[in-house]
Amino acid sequence: MNILFVADPLEAFKPYKDTTFAMMREAQRRGHRVSACEPQNISWQTGGQVTTQVRHIALTGEADAWFVADETRPDGLASIASFDAVLMRKDPPFDSEYFYSTHLLEQAEREGARVFNQPRALRDHPEKLAILEFAQFSGPTLVTRSAADIKRFHAEHGDIILKPLDGMGGMGIFRVKADGLNLGSITETLNKEGAQSVMVQKFLPEIAQGDKRVLVIGGKPVPFSLARIPQGSEVRGNLAAGGLGVAQPLTPRDFEIAEALGPVLAARGLLLAGVDVIGDYVTEINVTSPTCFQEIFQQTGFDVAAMFIDALEAALAAA
């Protein structure tokens, strides 16, 4: 099987922790051939197919020089539909260019490509707003542009978290306690004086035990989560913000959430999703490029990448 990874530059990968690298490694171990491209190299012209500049690679097993060119296949322009599977693994932000890439990949689907996660599903499930559909699993949440609405929500709940809808890695997250210190200034910063929507959630003290990443693959939960635990005075558990990642078995509540959301997400073309859970509540549903494969494997021995490639092979076989 020939697999194309649409991703960030290969030279920027950190093989010791990168989930896309883990996928590539497991794919190659099974005899599949690995190729990569960057979204900015995808194009389409009338009368032709969606194409991209492709790098065909082989993994070396080395820590630093982790890949080499596959000399049996010269790099160059290729039709995306010519690959057996296309994995969209471009990291956020989900900006205009990411949006345009999903449309190009959707055209490639019309030409016969099999894309995971499906481009339309990526567009239909913005990672913070996706929880609106599953409110039964979410804590008190407000999405608004209105400073007055935010002020009322704070008055009701006392201790709140504010975050931009397009943030990633904990970027732009603020906590405002009962004293309301700097609430007005933070609101102005995030909502751009009413021009931009903000998500506001009741602060969940269970964050002290970690912001759990519950992975769902092919509609089924990975049996271990990665609890990202805030360090020091930091309120954010995100690994990018210095959180400590601790793998742990799913709780009964985690299973309940994953087993309810998993089949729904899978049926919509989301082969892989990362459900973020604090305490008993879902806070986000990550679909662009969910991570934590390697941390879970290193700490528990459960091979998440193998489960993922199993699901990918099954999805292709079922077509």
What amino acid positions are annotated as catalytic residues? 128, 163, 213, 228, 236, 276, 284, 286
Q: How far is CA 293 from the centre of its chain?
A: 12
Question: Which residues have CB under 8 Å from 44's CB, separation 6+?
Answer: 50, 51, 104, 107
The token pair at 280 is 């008993």
Q: How far apart are CA 287 and CA 173, in angstroms?
A: 20
Q: Coil, strand or helix: which one is 299?
A: helix
The secondary structure of 121-177 as a DSSP string is HHHH--TTGGGGGGGGG--SEEEES-HHHHHHHHHHHSSEEEEETT--TTTT-EEE-
- Residues 265/283, Cβ–Cβ less than 8 Å: no
Phi, psi of 179 (to 5 degrees): -75, -10
Q: Coil, strand or helix: which one is 289?
A: coil
Q: How far apart are CA 227 and CA 50, in angstroms?
A: 39
Query: Residue 38 burial by CB count (10 A; 0-12/13-18/19+): exposed, middle or buried?
Result: middle
Beta-carbon count within 10 A of 77 CB? 10
Could you give the dihedral angle defined by the CA atoms of residues 101, 107, 112 and 118, in that order, rounded to the nearest 10 degrees? 50
